[in-house]
């Protein structure tokens, strides 16, 4: 009697582990709300994008996507939360370019950015823009380069902090062209912008979505974009690629990742929902007016992009002379 019961339990266990049983579970996903962990504060530009896309994806998936802001440690807290989550598709990470920068800034992370996550899709690309103080006689990127050459180590540039993409992209720019400037790190680009407007900084780089209002109202002057093409919002502003740095393309990006070992059927379903959201005409119009280009990718494309960006920013950290913590 006991032997038969053990056989029955063993058979049930084998059935639960069978491929067709797992496929049935995957097909039922999502059966409850999904937590979208975000390493940025509520109300910021990345948070706004995550919530808008999450709401649209909720319509497609039939379950709520709830944004969970986990700020701190340059995004590492949020990443660790997702890396340790169950690989069932109910906890996801909404991150940006910082995801590929952290590995070069920290000697030891509590997670492995390449092994502990499953890339799902990119969600947006945002050109970054180099802006100069209107108090300087500079009207183009060529004039900025000439001014830096004529005054080596005298002009200052502001960033969102040491190791921030606004720092590393400028570090590559300076290294590539053999230029020198004084780095002034801030706790975010907002205070740096105040000092750029006030003439206490010579130049800075920031996401176009953040800098656009100040450019449009004439408080700062845009001289170059880091995107592959010019923006329809700033058609007169050239790219670095077409002017002083051929081949240099370094926009900021946002995307969604899941923990490693999430069933591929879940990854594909999540990916399809993202594609629907970012190609929604209303969504695209809403974000295009802010300089944000919504776009999707396959999981494989996103994985390859993350690997390439991780290698690129590791070189930028070296160029900036940053010693990993």
Q: Are 205 and 289 in a shared domain?
A: no
- Mean pLDDT estimate for the chain: 90
Q: How far is 159 from 191, CA to CA, in rounded Å? A: 9
Query: Does residue 15 surpass a pLDDT of 70?
Result: no
- pLDDT value at position 319? 83
Q: Are 122 and 135 in a shared domain?
A: no
CA–CA distance from 277 to each of 28, 38, 211, 283 (Å)?
21, 18, 25, 7
Structure confidence at residue 16 as a pLDDT band (50, 70, 90): very low
- pLDDT value at position 9? 38
Contact 28, 83 (CB under 8 A): no
Residue 244 lies in a domain: no
Residue 237 lies in a domain: no
**Which tens digit of pLDDT belongs to each residue from 101-137?**
999 889 889 999 999 999 999 999 999 999 999 999 9
What's the CATH code of the domain at 188?
3.40.190.10
Residue 172 lies in a domain: yes
- pLDDT value at position 241? 96
**Which tens digit of pLDDT belongs to each residue from 144-157?**
999 999 999 999 99
Query: Does residue 97 surpass a pLDDT of 60?
Result: yes
Q: Are 112 and 177 in a shared domain?
A: no
Residue 325 lies in a domain: no
Residue 14 lies in a domain: yes
Query: Does residue 194 surpass a pLDDT of 60?
Result: yes
Enclosing domain of residue 10: 2-23+31-126+252-319
Of 35-39, 165-169, 266-270, 294-298, minimum mean pLDDT range: 165-169
Contact 236, 248 (CB under 8 A): no
Q: Are 60 and 121 in a shared domain?
A: yes
**Which tens digit of pLDDT belongs to each residue from 202-252?**
999 999 989 999 999 999 999 999 999 999 999 999 999 999 999 999 889
Q: Are 140 and 197 in a shared domain?
A: yes
β 252-259/91-96 pair status? antiparallel
**Prediction pTM value:** 0.83
Query: Does residue 18 surpass a pLDDT of 80?
Result: no
Residue 105 lies in a domain: yes
Q: How far is 179 from 196, CA to CA, in rounded Å? A: 20
Query: Does residue 254 surpass a pLDDT of 90?
Result: yes
Q: Are 73 and 132 in a shared domain?
A: no
In this prediction, residues 13-40 reach a mean pLDDT of 69
Q: Are 102 and 17 in a shared domain?
A: yes
Q: Are 205 and 293 in a shared domain?
A: no
Q: Are 113 and 155 in a shared domain?
A: no
Quote the tokens at residue 141. 């990127």
In this prediction, residues 298-324 reach a mean pLDDT of 91
Query: Does residue 23 surpass a pLDDT of 80?
Result: no
Q: Are 262 and 283 in a shared domain?
A: yes
pLDDT above 70: percentage of residues in the chain:
92
Q: Are 121 and 77 in a shared domain?
A: yes
Q: How far is 126 from 252, CA to CA, in rounded Å? A: 5
Quote the tokens at residue 148. 């830096």
Q: Are 140 and 204 in a shared domain?
A: yes
Q: How far is 140 from 105, CA to CA, in rounded Å? A: 32
Query: Does residue 14 surpass a pLDDT of 60?
Result: no
Residue 240 lies in a domain: no
What's the CATH code of the domain at 8?
3.40.190.150
Query: Does residue 286 surpass a pLDDT of 70?
Result: yes
Query: Does residue 69 surpass a pLDDT of 60?
Result: yes
Query: Does residue 11 surpass a pLDDT of 80?
Result: no
Q: How many domains does the chain have?
A: 2
pLDDT above 90: percentage of residues in the chain:
76
Structure confidence at residue 164 as a pLDDT band (50, 70, 90): confident
Residue 176 lies in a domain: yes
């Amino acid at each position: 009697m006991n032997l038969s019961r053990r056989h029955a339990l063993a058979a049930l266990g084998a059935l639960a582990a069978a491929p067709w049983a797992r496929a049935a579970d995957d097909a039922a996903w999502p059966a409850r709300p999904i937590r979208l962990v975000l390493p940025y504060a509520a109300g910021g530009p990345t948070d706004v994008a995550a919530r808008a896309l999450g709401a649209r994806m909720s319509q497609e998936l039939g379950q709520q996507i709830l944004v969970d802001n986990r700020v701190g440690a340059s995004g590492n807290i949020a990443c660790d939360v997702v890396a340790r989550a169950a690989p069932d598709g109910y906890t996801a990470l909404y991150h940006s370019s910082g995801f590929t920068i952290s590995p070069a800034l920290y000697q030891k992370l509590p997670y492995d950015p390449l092994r502990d996550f499953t890339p799902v899709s990119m969600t947006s690309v945002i050109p970054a823009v180099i802006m100069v103080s209107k108090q300087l006689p500079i009207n183009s990127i060529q004039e900025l380069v000439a001014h830096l050459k004529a005054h080596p180590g005298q002009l200052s540039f502001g960033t969102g902090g040491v190791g921030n993409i606004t720092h590393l992209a400028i570090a590559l720019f300076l290294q590539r062209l053999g230029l020198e400037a004084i780095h002034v790190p801030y706790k975010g680009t907002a205070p740096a912008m105040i000092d750029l407007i006030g003439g206490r900084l010579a130049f800075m780089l920031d996401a176009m979505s953040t800098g656009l209002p100040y450019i449009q109202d004439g408080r700062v002057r845009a001289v170059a974009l880091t995107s592959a093409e010019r923006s329809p919002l700033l058609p007169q502003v050239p790219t670095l690629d077409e002017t002083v740095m051929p081949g240099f393309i370094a926009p900021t990006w946002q995307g969604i990742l899941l923990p490693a070992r999430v069933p591929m059927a879940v990854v594909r379903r999540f990916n399809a929902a993202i594609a629907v959201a970012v190609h929604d005409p209303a969504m695209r119009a809403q974000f295009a007016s802010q300089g944000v280009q919504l776009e999707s990718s396959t999981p494989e494309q996103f994985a390859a992009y993350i690997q390439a960006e991780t290698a690129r920013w590791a070189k930028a950290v070296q160029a900036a002379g940053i010693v990993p913590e």
